[in-house]
């Protein structure tokens, strides 16, 4: 398929981008609000065109472990789910991170805790950026705010996943997943040939040539001194992410007195609140973290030196606000405004919160 302009859902964009970006396999289990990912893949039948494998596993546990197995061979393997399903996958994710296996996972967040609701939420920020599974590991976490970004970020995610040999999480929610916007699709990137894969993933378990020892994929190391050295290596990798691959967008921040900090769906709502505020003569800007890990810490710190206050808007009880406070060293007033349990705030109520909590 060539470049095309289409109207599509965010979930559909993820699926189409997987096919177009040369993904080798997708293993998933249906859950609202992201079931269209696998539905689109099944309808498109990529196994007949690019040769991509699409399989509905028996559970999320099976999905993530199929990802582990497939990706260990150096293939580009992905999955997607929503909050309760991602919780089930967390064991697999820490193993993948511990074994340094690149993969792409999408979470369309819904309101929790537990099975919660099927409506949009952003209450998995902690789970996504602070762990989820056990151990000192990090996922590279990207937060798209439009259907176009849902599409584009799958391509970017593969670059990052293989650059760092690390799982990449595309963290979104039901609103971006279910809405339709226009989307420019790209020319297909062919799936890697076996030769290319051997070159790009020399660590993979794709067979032992005579000229090297066998590759072993494991997250087990019983010798603590070696485990510590390995963990230091992971930390170095995360430091490099912070140095080289932080992404963010700033809108109207040049002259801003007050700034919204928000990602994904919330950032779209804040854009509208910002427009209303500007019409009222209030100098309000927006900082949108695109990567949640690594977090745009320097940018928040720099903004905190020249604005009077920040309002962190999240569809949660307040999670990212902690990173904003840490980054700014609490030099200025920083407050949180959130709705949760599947409720999406309106632009008007967000602006009102900014006026009451920050501008006063």
Partner 1 sequence: MTEEIIIAGFGGQGVLSMGKILAYSGVMEDKEVLWMPSYGPEQRGGTANVTVIVSDERISSPIISKFDTAIVLNQQSLDKFESSVKPGGLLIYDPNGITHEPTRKDINIYKIPATEKAQEMGISKVFNMVVLGGFLKLKPIVGSEFIHKGLEKSLPERHHNLIPQNEQAIELGKGLIEPVQVL
* Placement of tokens 């990052």 in the chain: 160
Alpha helix (H) residue ranges in 246-340:
264-279, 297-304, 320-328
Residues 266 to 285 in contact with partner 1, rule: CB under 8 A: 268-269, 271-275
The least distance separating partner 1 from the CB of residue 181, rounded to whole angstroms, comes to: 5
- Interface residue with partner 1, options 180, 216, 229, 317 (CB under 8 A): 180
Contact set for partner 1, span 217-256 (CB under 8 A): none
Q: Is residue 178 close enough to count as binding partner 1 by CB under 8 A?
A: yes
What is the pairing mode between strands 309-314 and 334-338? Answer: parallel
Choose between 65 and 267: whose C-beta lies nearer to partner 1. 267
* Piece of the chain touching partner 1 by CB under 8 A; list 54-62, 78-86, 156-164, 263-271: 263-271
Binding of partner 1 by 116 (CB under 8 A): no
Residues in region 20-59 near partner 1 by CB under 8 A: 32-33
Laid out side by side, the sheet with 103-109 consists of: 53-56, 25-28, 77-81, 103-109, 167-173, 140-142, 291-293
Q: Applying CB under 8 A, which of residues 347, 352, 355, 359 lies at the interface with partner 1? A: 347
Closest separation in Å from C-beta 13 to partner 1? 13
Determine if 81 is a binding residue for partner 1 (CB under 8 A): no
182 is an interface residue for partner 1 by CB under 8 A: yes
Q: Between 142 and 176, name the residue whose CB sits nearer to partner 1.
A: 176
Give yes or no for a contact between 295 and 128, defined as CB atoms under 8 angstroms apart.
no
Angle of helix 10-20 relative to helix 147-164, nearest 10 degrees, comes to 40
Nearer to partner 1, 176 or 304 (CB): 176
What is the C-alpha to C-alpha distance for residues 41 and 37, in angstroms, rounded to an integer?
6
Our finding on whether 175 is near partner 1 (CB under 8 A) is yes
Q: Minimal distance in Å, beta carbon 214 to partner 1?
A: 49
**Which has the closest alpha carbon to 298: 287, 286, 311?**
287
Rounded Cα distance between 23 and 154, Å, is 9
C-alpha to C-alpha distance for 330 and 23, rounded to whole angstroms: 43
- x/- map, 118-157, partner 1, by CB under 8 A: xx--------------------------------------
CB atoms near residue 229 (< 10 Å): 11
**Minimum distance from residue 237 beta carbon to partner 1 (Å):** 35
Stretch that binds partner 1, among 129-137, 170-178, 212-220, 299-307 (CB under 8 A): 170-178
Of 1, 7, 43, 239, the one binding partner 1 (CB under 8 A) is 7
> How do beta strands 4-9 and 53-56 pair?
unpaired
Nearest approach in angstroms of CB 37 to partner 1 is 15
Q: What is the distance between the alpha carbons of residues 28 and 324, in angstroms, rounded to a whole number?
A: 34
Bond from prior residue into 33 cis (ω within 30 degrees of 0) = yes
Helix, strand, coil percentages in the chain from 3-state DSSP, rounded to 5 = 40, 20, 40
Q: How many residues bind partner 1 (CB under 8 A)?
A: 29
Q: Give the residues lining the site for partner 1 (CB under 8 A).
A: 5-7, 32-33, 117-119, 174-176, 178-182, 265, 268-269, 271-275, 344-348
């Amino acid at each position: 398929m060539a470049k095309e302009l289409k109207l599509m859902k965010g979930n559909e964009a993820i699926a189409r981008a997987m096919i177009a970006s040369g993904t080798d396999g997708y293993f998933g289990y249906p859950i609202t609000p992201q079931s269209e990912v696998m539905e689109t893949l099944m309808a498109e039948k990529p196994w007949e065109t690019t040769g991509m494998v699409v399989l509905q596993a028996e559970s999320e546990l099976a999905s993530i472990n199929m990802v582990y197995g497939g990706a260990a061979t150096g293939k580009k393997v992905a999955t997607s789910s929503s909050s309760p399903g991602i919780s089930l996958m967390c064991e697999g994710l820490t193993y993948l991170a511990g074994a340094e296996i690149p993969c792409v996972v999408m979470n369309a967040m819904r309101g929790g805790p537990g099975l919660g609701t099927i409506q949009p939420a952003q209450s998995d920020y902690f789970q996504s950026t602070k762990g989820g599974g056990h151990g000192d590991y990090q996922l590279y976490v990207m937060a798209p705010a439009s259907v176009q970004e849902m599409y584009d970020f799958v391509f970017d995610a593969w670059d990052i996943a293989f650059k760092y040999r690390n799982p990449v999480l595309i963290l979104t929610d039901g609103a971006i997943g279910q809405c339709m916007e226009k989307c420019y699709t790209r020319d297909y990137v062919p799936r890697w040939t076996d030769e290319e894969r051997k070159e790009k993933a020399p660590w993979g378990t794709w067979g032992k040539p005579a000229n090297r020892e066998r590759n072993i994929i494991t997250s087990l190391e019983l010798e603590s001194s070696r485990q510590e050295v390995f963990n230091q290596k992971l930390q170095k990798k995360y430091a490099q992410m912070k140095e080289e691959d932080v992404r963010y967008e700033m809108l109207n921040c040049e002259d801003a007195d007050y700034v919204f900090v928000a990602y994904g769906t919330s950032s779209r709502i804040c854009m509208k609140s910002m427009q209303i505020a500007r019409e009222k003569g209030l100098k309000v800007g927006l900082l949108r973290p695109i990567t949640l890990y690594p977090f745009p810490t320097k940018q928040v710190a720099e903004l905190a030196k020249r604005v009077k206050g920040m309002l962190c808007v999240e569809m949660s009880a307040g999670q990212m606000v902690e990173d904003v406070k840490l980054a700014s060293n609490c030099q200025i007033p920083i407050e949180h405004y959130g709705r949760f349990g599947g409720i999406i705030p309106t632009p008007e109520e967000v602006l009102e919160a900014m006026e009451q909590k920050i501008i006063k």
